[in-house]
Chains A and B, each alone.
Chain A
Amino acid sequence: MLVVRLAWRNIWRNTRRTGIVITAVAVGIAGVLISMALNYGLVYTMLDTAISTDLGHVQIHARGYVDSPELARMLPNDGRAALRAVEDEPRVAGWAPRLRSEGLVSSPYASVGARLVAIDPRREASVTLVADSMVDGDYFADEPRRVVIGQAMAKRLKVGVGDKIVISAQDLEGDLAGEAMRVGGLFRTASRELDRGTIFMRLEEAQAMLGVGVGLSEIVIDAGSRVEAEHLGDALAAALPTLDVQRWDELQPMLVYMLDATEQSAVFVYLAIFIAMAFGIANVLLMTVFERVREIGILMAIGLSRSRLVAMVVCESVFVTLVGLLIGYALAVAGWYWLRDGIDLGGFAEGLNAYGMASTIVPVLRIEDFTVPTAVAILTALLASAWPASRAVRLKPAEAVRHR
């Protein structure tokens, strides 16, 4: 216990030097934590944006639909088994049926290829955000034969709310079906892909146009959270062995890859910071050892054992690091709290939308962002003190006490 007290007092004997090391550690840690929190915030925002605009947490399809999404690959039996399983599953927070196809949308001025997504407007609103993303017109008001398209697509077609467009697609028989519809509303989401290339129709109207009876291509499910999605996906997959039940991360592996990439880059950033920190601490401790040659000599002369001397130097290193770490954490939490409403990237939003990002980034701090650096920092402190400690124990008391 003596050496601990001794070490604690020692580090405060030269407050300026200790202060510099503590500041370096604190600022380094806080910077890393905040930048990682922003990175994770960016990735999680992207995940949640993708999930809430279109993807949902879990989707159910007929076997093989995802690999070759043809109209004919509908859910068997009009999706009755799947619908029953979804309704029986209490963890389902919301679900919506969809029919999907590829087609062509034309106005008198232009025509664009489009994904036709036929939805039950009320149900869809319980899973995805399109209903909340309307910028003009209505999200499926009462009139029949209205469609909802992205603002970007409307711009390409040069149409607005109330204008007529013609939708052509291949029906189940392979015949080209064409229908005139009117634009009921325009939406704008964070996903450029959705805004440029997707047209939402009423389910019954699309089913009639494509001649599929009451057939469905997919059921999209909101599980409440990404964590719940895992259990829910497994439960539904077990209940529906003949269908493909896939979670968002299986449907969009790209999103998972981005999360992994962020995690891997974090490792390198931490490594760089801690190596720099280790040299800083070692350097300062070495200085303190050289400065105190006489003092150490006297300590040894009056009977401080070598192991205690090593312990003292190591303790000094650990204390400096820990104090720096705690202040760094406090700074990081303060920064995170200050940015809790998100950083508005409004100015860059256009570019970010291309990657399916929202324009506001909310930083995300996780428990493991604290535990791992703490462990690594203490390890770094131990390693950094090895060299100064070894210099200290090699001093000969008889010479050291005469050192000036």
Chain B
Amino acid sequence: MPRLLNCLNTLLLVLLAAPAWAGELLPAPEGLTGREIARRAEDTLRSSKTHMRAEMTVTSPRLSKPRVVAFESWDDLDGKRSFIRIDGPAKDRGTSFLKLHPNLWMYVPRVERTMRIPPSMMLQSWMGSDFTNDDLIKESSALDDYDHELLGIETAPPGHPDLNAYVVQYVPHEEAPVVWGRIVAWIETEHGTPLQQDFYDESGERLRTMEFGDIRRSGARYVPHLWVMTPLDKDGHETRVRLIAIEFDTEFDDDLFTKRNLTKARR
């Protein structure tokens, strides 16, 4: 009998030691750091000047049918500014957002009013989605606010059976303004495409997950054109962003990022 108990013990230990994700991890090559991989993933999704058109579909138990929001955005990374214009649905058309570091302004054509979104509204839902206003203006802190630990390589990660991914764990610095306990990210080995990000609280419960799909080539980048955000603590909620067009390293007119431009509902 002691032998059986021993076996059980060992099994228990293995189970406890197993990471939260089920797949087997291969060791990552020497000399590669988690931070480097995290940077590659960042660089895949953003450039110094990025222009995109996208369609966001919000599903929620409160909505009888999914809400579809079409928008166009211009992001000037170095200038820490960006501009977003809502093109649909018709009732929100012309609603615009201007981020001028560190503020976020919103223009609502229906009431012809420009308002600065106060800090107290920063974590409210953006256009009814599972994204917050804060998600719009947050500067890339994915590199500076976290320690990155490369956990290994997963072959055929969930949702991408023909790819390999580095699994990187982001642990926020104690003083970083991050609510998460940690983030686990799957980043494609060859091109640095982000495949999935899981957000955990400090007790280790997974609270939300962001899945990336429909990877298409855009210049040197392999860009996911479908982003799906699922809050796991809210049943039936999901936000999908489908990129229609994306341009990296373009040029923008400086006039774009002015409050005057907010009120110009260009249709």
Interface positions of A (Cβ within 8 A of B): 102-104, 106-109, 111, 113, 145, 163-170, 174-176, 178-180
Contact = CB atoms under 8 A, between A and B. Distances in A.
A166 B176 CA distance: 8
Given A104-B122, A180-B175, 16 more contacts: A102-B120, A104-B119, A106-B123, A106-B179, A107-B179, A108-B199, A108-B201, A145-B175, A164-B179, A168-B134, A170-B118, A179-B175, A180-B172, A180-B174, A180-B176, A180-B177
Nearest to A113: B120
Given A106-B179, A145-B175, A170 B123 contact: no
Contacts, number: 60
Contacts of A176: 102-103, 119, 122, 137
A179 B120 CA distance: 15
Chain B at the A interface: SS class: loop
A109 B207 contact: yes
Contact of A168 (B122, B174, B180, B181): B122
B120 A174 contact: no
Most buried by B among A102, A111, A169, A179: A111
Interface centre among A108, A145, A179 (most CB of B within 10 A): A108
B179 A108 contact: yes
Nearest to A162: B202
Nearest to A160: B203
A212 B93 CA distance: 41
A113 B119 CA distance: 8
Contacts of B137: 176
Contacts of A111: 123
A109 B201 contact: yes
Contacts of A170: 118-119
B233 interface: yes
Contacts of B181: 108, 164
Given A109-B207, A164-B202, A103 B119 contact: yes
Interface of B: 102-103, 118-120, 122-123, 134, 137, 172, 174-181, 199, 201-202, 207, 233
A176 to B, nearest CB: 4
Nearest to A176: B102
Contact of A169 (B119, B123, B202, B207): B119
B175 A174 contact: no
A165 B122 contact: no
B177 A179 contact: yes
A175 B179 contact: no
Given A164-B179, A170-B119, A174-B102, A108 B207 contact: yes
A108 B175 contact: no
A176 B176 CA distance: 14
A261 to B, nearest CB: 33
5 contacts: A104-B120, A104-B122, A109-B201, A113-B120, A164-B179
Contact of B179 (A113, A145, A166): A166
A154 to B, nearest CB: 14
A107 B174 CA distance: 14
A271 to B, nearest CB: 49
B102 A168 contact: no
B202 A163 contact: yes
B167 to A, nearest CB: 21
Among B134, B172, B179: residue with most chain A CB under 10 A: B179
Interface-centre pick from B118, B177, B201, B233 (highest chain A CB count, 10 A): B177
Contacts of B233: 109
A107 B176 CA distance: 13
A98 B234 CA distance: 38
A63 B174 CA distance: 39
A149 B175 CA distance: 19
Contacts of B202: 108, 163-164
B199 to A, nearest CB: 7
A165 B172 CA distance: 12
B181 to A, nearest CB: 7
A161 to B, nearest CB: 13
B171 to A, nearest CB: 12
A230 to B, nearest CB: 36
Contacts of B176: 180
A299 to B, nearest CB: 84
A1 to B, nearest CB: 79
Nearest to A179: B177
A380 to B, nearest CB: 58
Closest 10 A/B residue pairs (Cβ): A178-B177, A111-B123, A113-B120, A108-B201, A176-B102, A175-B102, A108-B179, A166-B177, A166-B179, A104-B119
A166 B172 CA distance: 12
